Structure 1
Amino acid sequence: MLTCLLLCLILWSKRATSSVGRDALSVKNKRDLPSKLCFVCGRPFSWRKKWQRCWQDVKYCSKRCRSLRSISSLTKQ
């Protein structure tokens, strides 16, 4: 029983400290996350885990702004 508990503790600590599949971004506070301005609405939006591999390519804060991108490009001209 004790060996099983120790084994579980060791595996859990290794999993908690491993960086496999994680971004090099180490943030302790949500305020420290990088942010961008949306091209359509101009509002700031913060980094999300689902964007960790394509953060450089993210331009819009939401699906709604992505769908409105063609409308906003026509009105800016």
Structure 2
Amino acid sequence: MRQHSASFKGNKAVLPAKPCAVCGRPMSWRRAWSRHWAEVKYCSDACRRKKAPRD
């Protein structure tokens, strides 16, 4: 059986969230992003493609 954080207990409302850099929709923390949550900026591949080009 897996052990979760004591505060999680299946309630996604207690997980960290931040807005997508392109569309502004809130992104909830995902287990796949756990190692690089600080670098996650886009909610989807579509938003990643729409990002502003670097000058």
TM-score (norm: length of structure 1)? 0.57
* Residue correspondences, number: 51
* 5+ long unaligned stretches in structure 2: none
1:49, CA displacement in angstroms? 0.6
* C-alpha spacing 1:17/1:65, structure 2 compared with 1 (3 Å): closer
Q: Counterpart amino acid of 1:67?
A: R
Normalising by the residue count of structure 2, what TM-score does the alignment of the two structures yield?
0.78
Correspondence 1:60 to 2:42: yes
Change (3 A) 1:17 1:67: closer
Which whole-Å deviations, capped at 9, do the CAs of 1:33-76 have from their partners, x for residues lacking one? 100000100111100010000000000011110011036x8xxx
Aligned-CA RMSD value: 2.0
Q: Flag structure 1 segments of 5+ consecutive residues without an equivalent.
A: 1-15, 19-24
1:37 aligns with 2:16: no
Q: Which has the larger radius of gyration?
A: 1
Could you list the structure 1 runs, at least 4 aligned residues long, displaced by more than 3 angstroms after superposition: none
| Seq. identity, % | 51
More helix by share: 1
